[in-house]
Structure 1
Amino acid sequence: MLEKIQIIKQRFDEINDLIIQPDIISDQQRYTKLMKEYKDLKLIVDKGETFKEALENISEAEEIIADGSDAEMVDMAKMQLEEAEETIEKLEEEIRFMLIPKDPDDAKNVVVEVRAGTGGDEASIFAGDLYRMYSKYCSDKGWRVDVVSQSDGTSGGFKEIIFEVSGEDVYGTLKFEAGVHRVQRVPQTETQGRVHTSAATVMVLPEAEEFDYELDMTEVRIERTTSTGPGGQSVNTTYSAIKLHHEPTGMIVSCQDQKSSHKNLEKALKVLRSRLYDLELAKKQAADSEKRKSMVSSGDRSAKIRTYNYPQGRVTDHRVPGLTLYDLQNIINGDIQKIIDELMLAENTELLKANDDEI
């Protein structure tokens, strides 16, 4: 453990010297990346200092007990030894978790796609509820949400809504939301009070920069059309809406949220690049046996991950045994951190088992 902490301390000192160099400061991309690493390593270095202090306290207490010349000092040393040993045990566990290699995508912004599934109008209304839940959660976190495109439901909500989320460690937090969300409630249109089950699918894609995924524009057909739906005087008068056709995969991405054709193209390309990057990521994860075993990080979008039961005021996440909360109203209003914390803990436990030999 000490050897591992020392290696991290050396890297921390190296970064500490780098981030004050003028050429690094002027390179915004590199500077931002180094500052992120600096903050992550500082947490481990600070915890490592506390760990070393606890080891020194144990050594000091053991010397006093071995000497045995002062009975009162021996009693105090025994108490100190007991406290330090408890501290060491706790610190070792915390540091082991901190030493788990981080997913490099965790720091990325994301593109979230929410689509109504089975359940007709009620599924669209539920997709709208999920969008509002994420919007409120992101707002509380200080993250920015920008809608890329939306297709409204006939009775409210959305058949589909795509939005970007920008902030700190967004993918590392929201990736646990990918999958099928199921709702059980009495729809507003139900006259006999029967509970219906509807579903919506959530996709969380790490936002791919150009250096993450190089998009071959010769494989992309760009279609420019007039905007439809609400949007002011420019609707149906200018060819600002963009539809991208990715020929090799058959993927289609549309964007008409902005009045500018250039901005719509920029947003559509960002979504397409993120989807294609996500495909590559899925292949990599499928090839990784430890990732494939993890119950949390698989992100299988065909799997039912969570049920929102309105009659019982209950939310159950099916990936962690016993993860049921009777706090539906607060959760649907954006208070999902407690669920995400449990999922993070479950994933870290799986990763810890996989990395135990190295750590």
Structure 2
Amino acid sequence: MRARILWEAARCLRSRGALVPARRSLSSGSPPLEELFARGGPLRAFLERHAKSEVQLQARGPELAVVAKLLSEKELELRETEHLLHDENEDLRKLAENEITLCQKEITQLKHQIILLLVPSEETDENDLILEVTAGVGGQEAMLFTSEIFEMYQQYAAFKRWHFEPLEYFPSEIGGLRHASASIGGAEAYKHMKFEGGVHRVQRVPKTERQGRIHTSTTTVAILPQPAEIHLVINPKDLRIDTKRASGAGGQHVNTTDSAVRIVHLPTGRRKRMRRKRSVP
């Protein structure tokens, strides 16, 4: 553990002088995340409640138990390292500050990971998906924004090594995008993309603006899971097949060839009609 190494260095350096007050306190993290994991916060209370029984965390998933343990160890490492900010040695203080910054980033990542692990999984998490983007309010600027959004998802799919296949692409006159869709396939593609759906907004000075005014533009993103292959088995006993034949004058095939067939699925009542097309000599 890196904090233990710092503590050993501190013991050697403290023999040279007394402690001095810390120059500053370091903290990071977004306020909403910190509120969730603060003392008395819902996620902090959840982790403390299950900390005494690892079996309860294991019941929610082995990965959650591992991440929760890593978070506890990393927070302990952070508290131990923060004491080094009081040391009189400037080099040690700088080393501690750098270590604290790295530790805080790791803690934030672990907290985000815990939140994702607590989100209930869906049957479609392993499915591929259909991505649709449509320009909203904002005219040509919204279309430019939509083009950037579509390219962003394409680059993200390449980063995740997913398959990305454009299905539709309707560009605008100045290089923007009115509407586009794509098929994305890969490991847990829908699980990582399902929360991207909705209206996305940007406020900026667009390329189409000459007076430097800020415009608000929107684009709509839809994430649709692709259905998995279904193995459908129909019992022939559940089908009723009715046939009809032509009558009257019409040649040698009259009264001998089924010209219309109706299939009824008895359990559901669904019907399918089919007609035989006559070939024209």
Q: Do both share a fold (TM > 0.5)?
A: no
Interval of TM-score (by shorter of Structure 1 and Structure 2): 0.3 to 0.5
- Greater Rg by CA: 2
More helix by share: 1
TM-score, normalised on structure 1?
0.33
